[in-house]
Amino acid sequence: MTVLDARVPDGPIETLWDNHKFNMKLVNPPNKRKFEVIIVGTGLAGASAAATLGELGYKVKAFTYHDSARRAHSIAAQGGINAAKNYHSDGDSVYRLFYDTVKGGDYRSREANVYRLAQVSNNIIDQCVAQGVPFAREYGGLLDNRSFGGAQVSRTFYARGQTGQQLLLGAYQALSRQVKLGNVELHTNAEMLELVVADGKAVGIITRDLKSGEVSRHSGHAVVLGTGGYSNAFYLSTMAMSSNVTAAWRAHRKGAFFANPSYTQIHPTAIPSSDEFQSKLTLMSESLRNDGRIWVPNDPDETRAARDIPEDERDYYLERKYPTFGNLAPRDISSRAAKVVVDEGRGVGPLKNGVYLDFAEAIDRLGRDAIADKYGNLFDMYERITGENPYDMPMRIYPAPHYTMGGLWVDYHLQTTVPGLFAIGEANFSDHGANRLGASALMQGLADGYFVLPYTIGDYLAPQLGSQPVDTSAKEFEEAEAEVQARTEQFLNIGGTRSVDWFHRELGKILWDYCGMGRNQAGLEKALSEIPALKEEFYSDVRVLGTADGLNSSLEKAGRVADFFELAELMCKDALTREESCGGHFREEHQTDDGEALRDDENFAHITAWEWTGDSGAPNEHREQLTFDHVKLSQRSYK
Amino acid sequence: MNLTLRVWRQAGPDAPGRFETYEAADISADSSFLEMLDLVNEELIGKGDEPIEFMHDCREGICGTCGMMINGQAHGPQGMTATCQLHMRSFNDGDEIVLEPWRASGFPIIKDLVVDRSAFDRIIEEGGYVTVDTGSAPDANLIQVSKEKADLAMDAAACIGCGACVAACPNGAAQLFTAAKIAHLNVLPQGQPERYERTTNMVEVMEEHFGSCTNMGECEAACPKGISIDFIAQMNRDYLKAKFINRRSA
């Protein structure tokens, strides 16, 4: 085990980033075009980084497996983006946003990174407004804010229920401008299948064109991964169908440590699944909790319709357990509370797998029109999916995998343990600790892409001035391409009996049961024996039809699911190793008398970063010790 | 419910295509349309036949990836609904459903129900942005935007770029897509400096790839986000104005 150095500079936290920007090496403007940077992923982080590096004058090659850069899953974020503008004079500040984020993450994030995030949050809003992002406005023409996800100040900027869409379109449009100017070479339908490392440095990638099947080599002075999270390991999640871990996992196998893989966020308000063949879960914005009341019947054998159950036979369990925060308790806490009541047999709906989110009281108080004004589009979406009208009967909701705080380990420069390989946005582990607060994912993605990476990457590139990217005919490229070809052929040649989706569903069930909202030693050990067995079956019985020379979605999925198997083992291993509960990681053995997460700061105030050893069952553990000089560690209380 | 599907199958961009008939048995009315297709594909794989390729990703109506002609209608029978949000309760037991890829020469077929919509990106690259380098923006509240204009810009910006407007248009025109992006930026103060250049450039590239608009209104009816054709009228006005303005400054 080694202790990782995050390269956090010395000095007072308030001026750390500004001083560091001055101290880092610069690449002067005419020299920037001598550097080629590969960016994989065009979501908020990837698109904003590609656009900004293009503007600065670097030669950028951007890659996305989507048919257009605009379709990355950032687009589906609904609620909003946080910033410490304090436009409403309600006591917000950079320090408060920093403090709330570290606390919300259950004290498992790096203070220096989070402080920087809070600082640049304000620049993001300025940038996005200048781009024409149509944020909600007040009648006077100034920006509107709302309080979101349990924050006690109004710091969330939003564009109806489509904030992620509008921010992504802003970044995509900035990227499109650079494409037109020739500063960014954009490859769509191109999936990264391997990282190329030479002399210990990241020097390129291997991609497959999903339309033609062509495999190609790309070299650069640095490689940046903005490839998102891995919630789809659970099969059923709020992710898009093609969201996957492959780019990050290939990098992990080439030496990038994977940090805190067990930190997964289960969002409290998704629509529960209706049958076994459901393909994904749809999120209902957390903003609904501002007016909806969450409850289940007292009696597990309750058969009456929701409206016929009298008040005194209902359990408004969040209001009961957390009188201060009530229905607005943070995500991890709300999700777990829902699991508790469903496990008690008090779930609602045909499969008894949900809880009620009830607007009757709000409709009485504010009127039906006011509720329609606020949530009309969400109510319509709910009705379209379930066929039930939430004005007349309560919604049914249940938690769903939604975001992953874990990811590639990065230092203060956002560089992984492989020099020249950077990870940004959800793909890295950095800022959210063990639980992410609402409206902070968009903030982090854009902070990394617009305002952090463009500085830190210069510090890595500057000393390389004059060097050419490694030639793509080099043996490292040849070997990496051969690995990709061999894997492709392997999948096509198995000729088994079951579809890739079948294996993915089975894997998802194991992870959800044993490494989901509640985890314990016996369950995790069981998962660690079942996953390798299922993986073995996958490699002998999966059926991938067709060929590699053209569009073949089964082949694409096979590669992604193969990597999910290895990741799933690491998630369970990490969850088993972390003998404490924190944020989204709840070890049932470690809880307070009233069932709350019980941290062990003495033994676990560290980041666990795993090194690939060639055997997915036996990774090497490394640590980065966390120190808290500004935030006072306490038991989170939302009562 | 049990359904009969007639599906366009085409092995590649240059291969000849044909309709194939498949049975979809025991489909739940609560399942989504694409989940129904997932089940049909599972059966096809079971039988050793290649699954039907179709476009999809977020399955919550926002990424704009999905889309196909369902019984001749772009995104199918339910208004304001992308294919991925369509549910089987919109159909009846015994129905025959015909599935085709987007119909438009601007969207060439890649395979089965998958088409190439990259021409949309070419239109955006011509001016669908505000020129503002990262870090050069003033404080956000220095740019005031009336609520009315912000709401109108948002109405236009809600476009998901799925291409239903083009597929539904008898001429294969992309006016609604292009007009929505132009309107989003042209109604905002941030979009004014480049307003006329943007409009001219985007319209001209649009015309290289797509057909002409003859005011049929099919685009608006097919749009899953309800984008109004009023934006097309605005685009035409700005395009005409641009002709005069550009001539004056030349």
* Domain assignment of residue B11, given as a range: 3-111
Answer whether CATH 2.70.150.10 is correct for domain A475-577: no
pLDDT of residue A325: 87
Partners of A610 in the β-ladder: A258, A621
- Rounded to a whole number of angstroms, the distance from the CA of A155 to the nearest CA of chain B is 14
Report domain extents, chain A.
1-44+52-165+177-207+254-263+405-464+606-639, 268-401, 475-577
Architecture of domain A1-44+52-165+177-207+254-263+405-464+606-639: 3-Layer(bba) Sandwich (3.50)
| CB of A280 less than 8 A from some CB of B | yes
pLDDT of residue B248: 63
B128 and B242 inside one domain: yes
**pLDDT, average across residues B133-141:** 97
**What confidence category does residue B249 fall into, taking pLDDT thresholds of 50, 70 and 90?**
low
> Which residues of A are less than 8 Å from B131 in CB distance?
177
**What confidence category does residue A591 fall into, taking pLDDT thresholds of 50, 70 and 90?**
very high
CB A239 within 8 A of CB A75: no
C-alpha A527/C-alpha A542 separation (Å) is: 20
Q: Pick from A182, A175, A193: which is nearest to A59 by CA?
A: A182
Candidates B134, B146, B147, B160: best to mutate against A (most CBs of A within 10 A) is B134
pLDDT of residue B250: 52
CB A564 within 8 A of CB A245: yes
| CB of A271 less than 8 A from some CB of B | no
Q: Pick from A45, A214, A242: which is nearest to B66 by CA?
A: A242
Partners of A215 in the β-ladder: A208
Return the number of other C-beta atoms located less than 10 Å from residue B10's C-beta.
18
B140 and B216 inside one domain: yes
Span A2-50, pLDDT tens digits? 899 999 999 999 999 999 999 999 999 999 999 999 999 999 999 999 9
Return the number of other C-beta atoms located less than 10 Å from residue A448's C-beta.
34
pLDDT of residue A395: 97
Domain end (from B87, B111, B135): B111
Q: Pick from B28, B234, B132, B152: which is nearest to A350 by CA?
A: B28
Give the closest of A141, A277, A551 to B144, CB-based. Answer: A141
Let me know if A331 is a catalytic residue. yes
CATH number of A268-401: 3.90.700.10
C-alpha B81/C-alpha B226 separation (Å) is: 9
Average pLDDT over chain B, rounded to an integer? 96
Give the closest of A130, A143, A176 to B190, CB-based. Answer: A130
Span A341-380, pLDDT tens digits? 999 999 999 999 999 999 999 999 999 998 988 888 889 8
**What confidence category does residue A215 fall into, taking pLDDT thresholds of 50, 70 and 90?**
very high
Span A445-469, pLDDT tens digits? 999 999 999 999 999 999 999 999 9
Span A228-268, pLDDT tens digits? 999 999 999 999 999 999 999 999 999 999 999 999 999 99
CB B156 within 8 A of CB B59: no
B196 and B157 inside one domain: yes
Catalytic residue from among A331, A336, A346, A519: A331
Residues 94-133 of A with CB under 8 A from B: 123, 125-132
- Rounded to a whole number of angstroms, the distance from the CA of B241 to the nearest CA of chain A is 22
B227 and B123 inside one domain: yes
- Rounded to a whole number of angstroms, the distance from the CA of B181 to the nearest CA of chain A is 10
Domain end (from B84, B111, B138): B111
**pLDDT, average across residues A200-219:** 98
pLDDT of residue A638: 73
B159 and B81 inside one domain: no
**What confidence category does residue A287 fall into, taking pLDDT thresholds of 50, 70 and 90?**
confident
ipTM for the assembly: 0.98
- Percent pLDDT > 90 in chain A is 91
**pLDDT, average across residues B200-220:** 97
B132 and B226 inside one domain: yes
Torsion of CA A122, A124, A129, A135, to 10 degrees: -80
Task: Return the SS3 of A604.
Answer: helix
Return left, alpha or beta for A34; rule: phi > 0 is left, psi -120 to 50 is alpha, else beta: alpha
B97 and B183 inside one domain: no
B226 and B174 inside one domain: yes
Contact yes or no for B137 and A130 at CB 8 A: yes
pLDDT over threshold 80, residue A637: no
Q: What is the domain-level CATH number for residue B126?
A: 1.10.1060.10
Contact yes or no for B154 and A166 at CB 8 A: yes
Number of structural domains, chain B?
2
Contact yes or no for A176 and B45 at CB 8 A: no
Span A514-549, pLDDT tens digits? 999 999 999 999 999 999 999 999 999 999 999 999
pLDDT of residue A286: 85
Residues 312-371 of A with CB under 8 A from B: none
Task: Return the SS3 of B173.
Answer: strand
**What confidence category does residue A595 fall into, taking pLDDT thresholds of 50, 70 and 90?**
confident
> Which residues of A are less than 8 Å from B48 in CB distance?
545
pLDDT of residue A639: 77
Sheet-wide strand order for B17-24: B17-24, B3-10, B96-100, B69-70, B73-74
pLDDT of residue B247: 66
Establish, for the pair of chains A and B, how many residue pairs have beta carbons separated by less than 8 Å: 219
Average pLDDT over chain A, rounded to an integer? 96
Domain end (from B78, B96, B111): B111
